[in-house]
Structure 1
């Protein structure tokens, strides 16, 4: 069995709150983003991009999304607001995977969106192969137009998710996985 197969058989998400320094070096980050970009991309459109949150930018991004949340929910409690302010401080690196899927004469938007999902998964697998742990989250910021705007997305873009990357500070744990018998079927002609 190859190292890749072993990695894919054991890959798991870690809660972002359990991801600490060190994060990827600049060289590792370049490799991660290069690998993430090597996905099926019908039409060579590169219908995705990355926004990096690291260093002091993480706290500023959390303040920006917290301001949007407070505007949307003026009655929010302090604990929830503090949680939002710390959103990007959960790990040393947060990568926003952004879909730029748009109408195209030949390439369906659905294919472009799936390519962006593949980018996020490649990023996760590459980070795990380098020894980092990851978590891919969406949460409310993915679906809120103002939150997406303050995070740097255009009105025409969608947030595929935030990929948290860091070094785990806890042992891995497993969650139940679906039984193949529940998710696999053989095709047969429709009567």
Structure 2
């Protein structure tokens, strides 16, 4: 796949099925992630993979987490939380590892981890895989973070769901860069 084609046509794929990415495909995705911009070369990221039966255990933890946050949650909401990890054959938890640094503020470290996740998404698309980066309330849930073994200085940035696209990829909308780009002439 040509690089510009990849950059201009990557889309999120929400309907995913088996098979999951192979070990070789995952290796390429993680190698691409590690090329993210990284001020100070701190490598302020890490990833957890969840597949197979571990997805069901993850669903149980998500259901528990929901009940900790919302004891009044309906049985339907608890069941929905339990099924979330089953929407794809493989999940990658994106984690920002923020460390004190005199020249690299926390927000730059989080942005670098986000760029690493984007690199992973691009590499998935380049290999014909389907991927979607999901966030939501579970991404910010400390109960879930603790259950996944995150340290106090680590933040979940979301979950990348990976698999084989189920159906045809959608065409990305045509956007006009002029709507998002301006110039500054230095005058006030």
* Fold shared by both chains (TM-score > 0.5): yes
Q: 5 Å matches for 1:67-106?
A: 67-106=64-103
Q: For residue 12 of structure 1, what is the aligned residue in structure 2?
A: 11
Q: 2:144 aligns with which of 144, 147, 154?
A: 147
Q: 1:183 aligns with which of 166, 180, 184?
A: 180
CA root-mean-square deviation = 1.5
* Cα offset, 1:177, TM superposition: 5.3
* Cα offset, 1:106, TM superposition: 2.2
CA distance in structure 2 between the aligned counterparts of 1:152 and 1:32, rounded to whole angstroms:
23
CA distance in structure 2 between the aligned counterparts of 1:4 and 1:93, rounded to whole angstroms:
25
Q: Secondary structure at the match of 1:188?
A: coil
2:32 is the counterpart of 1:35: yes
Q: Does the CA contact (< 8 Å) of 1:22 and 1:166 recur in 2?
A: yes
* Cα offset, 1:30, TM superposition: 1.7
* Cα offset, 1:139, TM superposition: 0.8
Question: Under a length normalisation based on structure 1, what TM-score does the superposition of the two structures give?
Answer: 0.92
Residues matched between the structures, number: 188
2:113 is the counterpart of 1:119: no
CA distance in structure 2 between the aligned counterparts of 1:78 and 1:108, rounded to whole angstroms:
42
Q: Secondary structure at the match of 2:50?
A: strand
Which structure 2 residue ranges, 5 or more long, are not aligned? none
CA distance in structure 1 between the aligned counterparts of 2:131 and 2:47, rounded to whole angstroms:
16
* Cα offset, 1:184, TM superposition: 0.8
Q: Does the CA contact (< 8 Å) of 1:21 and 1:167 recur in 2?
A: yes
- Structure 1 stretches of 4+ moved >3 Å: 174-178
Q: 1:22 aligns with which of 19, 41, 45?
A: 19
* Cα offset, 1:178, TM superposition: 4.2
